[in-house]
Amino acid sequence: MKVTTPCTARVEYRSAPGTAVDYLSIWSVDAECKQNMVCDYWTWTSSAHPSGICFNNKFQSHPLGLALDFILMNQDQFTRPADACPEGLALVYPPTGDERTEAATWMSGVHGAATNVSRAEDEKVAPL
């Protein structure tokens, strides 16, 4: 589904105390506060679910899948207090044009750094 009007994203995540995030879900929230689950992501496989991203219904985004892979596979490079709450919620508002430009610049620099994902020259980054 192609988003035609900007909406807020709600990110819910979970982890055991003192460990990295092992599960998250992303929801779109429109202007009337209608919420739709976009996807969920597990960092490990079980008989109940596969690891990685799973999009719901009409949603699909290769760039989002790549971004989540990158973030969750490189959690050790992000600050998270050892006593952080095991469940969390973040609201992400639509970025401005300047914020999109800044993010693209940052991502191009990050993909050149040593990470747990593919090499920068193997990745194709598309605008979100």
Write the pLDDT tens digit of every residue in 85-127.
778 888 999 889 999 899 888 878 776 665 555 433 444 444 4
Does 26 fall in a domain?
yes
Q: Which domain holds residue 69?
A: 8-121
pLDDT score for 24: 93
Q: What is the number of structural domains in the chain? A: 1
Does 1 fall in a domain?
no
pLDDT score for 88: 86
Does 128 fall in a domain?
no
Give the full edge-to-edge strand order of the sheet including 8-14.
52-55, 35-42, 23-29, 8-14, 87-92
Does 2 fall in a domain?
no
How confident is the model over 42-82, as pLDDT tens digits?
988 999 989 999 999 788 888 889 889 988 888 877 767 77
Amino acid identity for residue 118 in this structure: S
Residue 40 pLDDT > 70: yes
How many other C-beta atoms can be found within 10 angstroms of the C-beta atom of residue 37? 15
- What is the rounded average pLDDT of the residues 3-25? 82
Does 126 fall in a domain?
no
63 neighbors 69 (Cβ within 8 angstroms): no
Does 3 fall in a domain?
no
Does 93 fall in a domain?
yes
Helix, coil or strand: residue 64: helix
- d(CA 101, CA 83) in angstroms, rounded, equals 34
Helix, coil or strand: residue 89: strand
Does 18 fall in a domain?
yes
